Amino acid sequence: MTNKEKFLALVSDDKPDTLLNNKKRIKDRSMLRESQQIALKVLLKLDEIGWTQKKLATEMSVSPQQITKIVSGKENLTIETQIKLQTILDIPILASYYENRITSNKAFKEPAWRNNC
């Protein structure tokens, strides 16, 4: 981009899409965080059961490259893929929102009635 083009962009009458871009970035950050949590669950489970990524790819009927994308934590997983992972590896994936809420609620004191149980 030339200096003239940069200057014209600065003084342009067009409204900048800053707010829209920021909202998209925040949404993407949230999706990325979830993808990374799923990737970590998958990697931990593979290690626990002694499977390779190639073995998981075979069990899921997908390419090893697809598994690489999943465990990198940067893949936007379809519901179908999440269900396959959940079923084959026997790990909770779709419930991550509730798992996080339970974990954060444990930081608070247990209600008195639970101590009597």
Residue 19 forms part of a structural domain = no
Residue 57 forms part of a structural domain = yes
Identify whether the C-beta of residue 71 lies closer than 8 Å to the C-beta of residue 53: yes
Whole-number pLDDT of residue 80: 93
- If one counts the domains in the chain, the total is 1
CATH number, position 102 = 1.10.260.40
Whole-number pLDDT of residue 13: 66
CA 54 – CA 71 distance, rounded (Å): 12
From its phi and psi, is residue 105 left (phi > 0), alpha (psi between -120 and 50) or beta?
alpha
Identify whether the C-beta of residue 41 lies closer than 8 Å to the C-beta of residue 91: yes
Residue 8 forms part of a structural domain = no
Query: pLDDT in tens for each of the 117 residues of the chain?
Result: 899 888 877 776 666 677 777 777 777 788 888 899 999 999 999 999 999 999 999 999 999 999 999 999 988 889 999 999 999 999 988 776 566 667 766 655 555 555 555
Whole-number pLDDT of residue 104: 67
Could you report how far apart the first and last alpha carbons of the chain are, in Å? 70
Domain range for 91 is: 24-108
